[in-house]
Structure 1
Amino acid sequence: MAIKATIHKAQLQLADMDRNVYADIAVTIARHPSENDERMMVRVLALALGWPADTSQGTLEFAKDMWEPDEPALWHKNFSDEIMHWVEVGQPDDKRLMKASGRARRVSLFAFQSSTPVWWSGIATKLTRANNLHIWQIPHEQSQALAKLAQRTMQLQITVQDGTVWVNDGSESLEITPQRLMGED
């Protein structure tokens, strides 16, 4: 018998002063049996950082990337089913990123593993044609600290200012400084 997903619920209070995006976001996260807390929490962080300023054409939502190979970790589809924003986490290969670049208006990737510099040095030159691709590295120590905030039910305040992200769960606060590897906003 297959192991089922573990359900997590999060209430996010987002204050992104860099983009003037303020939102209360309630999400249900289906955590794949092979997914760890670190990857799940990077997906939550990616949701907050990619939340659209204008939600009249839909919002960013969790997709089935670990169940369906043709889906990302998150995506924003408008009401015509056009992919507005495709979001990956981890270290996908260049073919996956180039395919996503052709399918979506915007593609973002949040890499968080300690091996990201080695992975990036081997893939960077293969992605130069993708003008809609934005790649960020979350420092590994910071993504591990973020993983420690994982609970089955979470209330997180996420504040973004001057490129720095603060995540607070009511008892602990941490600072995350995403580093841009590729793409301009």
Structure 2
Amino acid sequence: MAIGVTMHTFDIQLADVDRSVYEDLSVRVARHPSETDAFMLTRVLAYALEYEEGIAFSEGISATDEPAVVVRDLTGALVAWIEVGSPDAARLHTGSLAGARVAVYTHRDPAKVAAGWAGKKIHRSDEVKLYSFDHGFFDSATSALERRNTMIVSVTERRIYLDLNGSSFESDIHEVTAG
């Protein structure tokens, strides 16, 4: 018998001082059995850090033609293509052709992620942003994950302060351009 998805809920208080975004969010995340805790938490943080009207999770691993997180305007047009993990250059090329903005959030070594794109064709590669966090941030934070989660996400001067189910973590948000 195949193992199905596991649902996780996140009640998030978001205070992104850098972007002047202050919201209370409640999201449900379907976690595929092959998805790691770090990948799921990165998806949730990407959602929070990119939050704007029209943001949504894609259908996940089964949606091969969509990123992990997508932003659409009121007409349904793609505004932002937001990948998680270590997508290949072809996915970034597709996203850059389809949307106005492409971002990647990774829980992995950003140098290794970017190295996979070197010399590959990526439309507007100089505009693709790769965001990563301090080494060990996800190892520590995932230890606090539960099925029902309460998060406080504060961002100021590109530093994230995360309270996850009563445990506190912090990290700089590092930015690299793909091109």
Matched, 1:82 2:73: no
Q: Which runs of 5+ in 2 are unaligned?
A: none
| Partner Cα distance (2:174, 2:145) in 1 | 23
Matched, 1:171 2:138: no
Match of 1:2 in 2: 2
Query: RMSD of the TM alignment (CA)?
Result: 1.7
TM-score (norm 2): 0.91
Identity of aligned residues (%): 31
TM-score (norm 1): 0.88
- Note closer, same or farther for the CA distance 1:124–1:160 as it changes in structure 2 (3 Å cut): farther
| Partner Cα distance (1:160, 1:170) in 2 | 18
Within-5 A mapping of 1:88-167: 88-114=83-109, 116-126=110-120, 127=122, 129-167=124-162
CA contact (8 A) 1:105 1:132 kept: no
Q: Per-residue displacement from partner, 1:2-37 (whole Å, max 9, x unpaired)? A: 321100011000000011000000000000110011
| Partner Cα distance (2:118, 2:66) in 1 | 22
Match of 2:56 in 1: 61
- Note closer, same or farther for the CA distance 1:119–1:15 as it changes in structure 2 (3 Å cut): closer
| Partner Cα distance (2:119, 2:13) in 1 | 37
Offset at 1:170?
4.9
CA contact (8 A) 1:86 1:107 kept: yes
| Partner Cα distance (2:156, 2:48) in 1 | 13
CA contact (8 A) 1:9 1:154 kept: yes
Q: Per-residue displacement from partner, 1:123-175 (whole Å, max 9, x unpaired)? A: 24534733542111223411222212211001100000000000013521100
Offset at 1:62?
1.0
Offset at 1:176?
1.8
| Partner Cα distance (2:141, 2:14) in 1 | 16
Instruction: Extract structure 1 runs of 4+ deviating beyond 6 A.
Output: none
Q: Which deviates more from structure 2 when the two are superposed, residues 96-105 or residues 138-147? A: 138-147
Q: Which runs of 5+ in 1 are unaligned?
A: none
| Partner Cα distance (1:172, 1:118) in 2 | 29
The one-letter code matched in structure 2 to 1:119 is V
Match of 1:181 in 2: 176
| Partner Cα distance (2:65, 2:26) in 1 | 25
- Note closer, same or farther for the CA distance 1:128–1:81 as it changes in structure 2 (3 Å cut): closer
Matched, 1:39 2:20: no
- Note closer, same or farther for the CA distance 1:178–1:17 as it changes in structure 2 (3 Å cut): same
| Partner Cα distance (1:101, 1:71) in 2 | 12
Match of 2:14 in 1: 14
